[in-house]
Amino acid sequence: MSDNNLLHCENIHKYFGQVHALEGVDFDVGQPEVVGLVGDNGAGKSTLIKCICGIFQPTKGEIHFKGEEKEFTTPQESLQAGIESIQQDQALVEDMDIKRNFFLGREPKNSLGLLDLKEMRQASMDGLSDMGLEIRSPDVNVRELSGGQRQGIAIARALHFNFDLIILDEPTNNLSIKESKKVYEYIQQLKQNGLSAILISHAIQEVYPVSDRIVVLRNGEKIIDQDREEVEMEEVEKAIVGGEGDEDLEHLLL
Ligand SMILES: Nc1ncnc2c1ncn2[C@@H]1O[C@H](COP(=O)(O)OP(=O)(O)OP(=O)(O)O)[C@@H](O)[C@H]1O
Ligand SMILES: [Mg+2]
């Protein structure tokens, strides 16, 4: 793979003290492409995407986005470059209402230079109803919402602003089956619009049907990187857990 890709990560290492969380991972995302990033607890999935979006800095390795080497030091920098990420643990700001959360950092202003609250109310409600999320008012504080509703808002927000790359870390964790299905439908739509996504999940059954390529991390190393059509779901499931037959994995790396 090369710099022609939207995202190109080369030999990424990350240490947390003695813990070697990423051990030389190469990771690419094409345009448009949906990459399913899977692996067991502690495999390094969140660490890798936090390195990509500037929450962490890799200890070693290079990240290229749209053909340029990048060293993002904050998530705001990656956002400005065109990468929107929804983290597993910090999807929304607790003390703000829905419309404020929806526009976080991208608030529209009116002709007086003040927040355009009317536009914020309208657009946030439209975004949520497009996803099939029924919320009574954009003025509700997110503290009053369920986990699933919060995740839904974070996803609707990411989908509303057309980013080049959207990273979703366990997006359906707290969602009902119906809401999860909707999220995956949206991911398909993103791709039809020429956007790319990284989809992180434990649930290979959910990710497999919507991904163009499957990447498996285990103990900080990439052990599978294959077009979806070239790898069976059962093979991926086995690789995630590890154990017998590991010596046969070599052919599943690009
Ligand atoms: N901020 C941190 N400080 C110290 N160690 C960390 C930190 N973040 C992650 N780690 C360690 O790095 C390794 C990879 O963690 P990571 O969160 O990337 O896993 P993951 O694949 O996202 O797992 P999960 O599926 O549970 O979310 C783990 O051993 C974890 O304990
Ligand atoms: Mg994680």
Q: Is residue 110 part of a domain?
A: no
Q: Is residue 30 part of a domain?
A: yes
Q: Is residue 35 part of a domain?
A: yes
Number of structural domains the chain divides into: 1
State which residues form the domain around 45.
Answer: 7-95+162-252
Using the predicted structure, report yes or no on whether residue 246 has a pLDDT greater than 70: no
Over the stretch 188-228, which tens digit does the pLDDT of each residue have? 777 777 889 999 988 898 899 999 999 999 999 999 999 99
- The residue ranking higher by pLDDT, 170 or 34, is 34
Using the predicted structure, report yes or no on whether residue 109 has a pLDDT greater than 70: yes
- Say how far apart CA 59 and CA 13 lie, in whole Å: 5
Q: Is residue 120 part of a domain?
A: no
Mean of the per-residue pLDDT values for the chain?
88
- The residue ranking higher by pLDDT, 253 or 99, is 99
Over the stretch 61-86, which tens digit does the pLDDT of each residue have? 999 999 999 999 998 899 889 998 88
Place of tokens 């448009």: 32
Q: Is residue 149 part of a domain?
A: no
Strand-pair category, 19-29 with 7-16: antiparallel
Q: Is residue 85 part of a domain?
A: yes
Q: Which ligand is nearest to the CA of 87?
A: 2
Q: Which ligand is nearest to the CA of 44?
A: 1
**CA distances (Å), origin 249, targets 38, 209, 221:** 15, 21, 12
HSE value, Cβ hemisphere, 13 Å, CA-based, for 12 = 29
Over the stretch 22-54, which tens digit does the pLDDT of each residue have? 999 999 999 999 999 999 999 999 999 999 999
- Say how far apart CA 156 and CA 129 lie, in whole Å: 9
Q: Is the CB of 39 under 6 A from ligand 1?
A: yes
Q: Which residue among 47, 87, 198 is best mutated to probe the pocket of ligand 1, counting the most ligand atoms within 8 A of its Cβ?
A: 47
Q: Give me the CATH number covering residue 232.
A: 3.40.50.300
